Structure 1
Amino acid sequence: MSSAHSAPESDALAQRFVQFALDAGVLRFGTFKTKAGRLSPYFFNAGGFDDGAKLGQLAQCYAERILHSGIAFDMLFGPAYKGIPLVAAVAVELARRGHNAPFAFNRKEAKDHGEGGLLVGTPLRGRVLIIDDVMSAGTAARESIALIRGAGATPHAMAIALDRQEMATEVGPDGTVRDVPYSAVQYVQRELGLAVCAIAKLDDLLHYLEQQADSELAPYKAQVWAYRARYGVA
Structure 2
Amino acid sequence: MASISDPNIRDGFTRAMEEIHNKQLQTYEEIIDMTTDLCQSQRQFVKSAHDTCLKKCKDDEMLFETIQTFKKDLVQNYVSLKGKQHAISDMIAEIQQKEMQKDGIIQKIEKLKEEQARRKELIHSQNKTNKDRLRNLQKARVVFQDHLGMEIRAIRGKTQLVKSELLQFVFRNIKPSDQDIPYVVTMGIKEDGSYQIVSSDPGLECLPALESRLQESNKLAAFLANVRKEFISQAR
TM-score, structure 2 normalization:
0.22
Tell me which protein shows more helix as a share of its residues: 2
Q: Which has the larger radius of gyration?
A: 2
Identify the structure with bigger relative contact order (alpha carbons < 8 Å, sequence gap 6+). Answer: 1
TM-score, structure 1 normalization:
0.22
Tell me which protein shows more strand as a share of its residues: 1
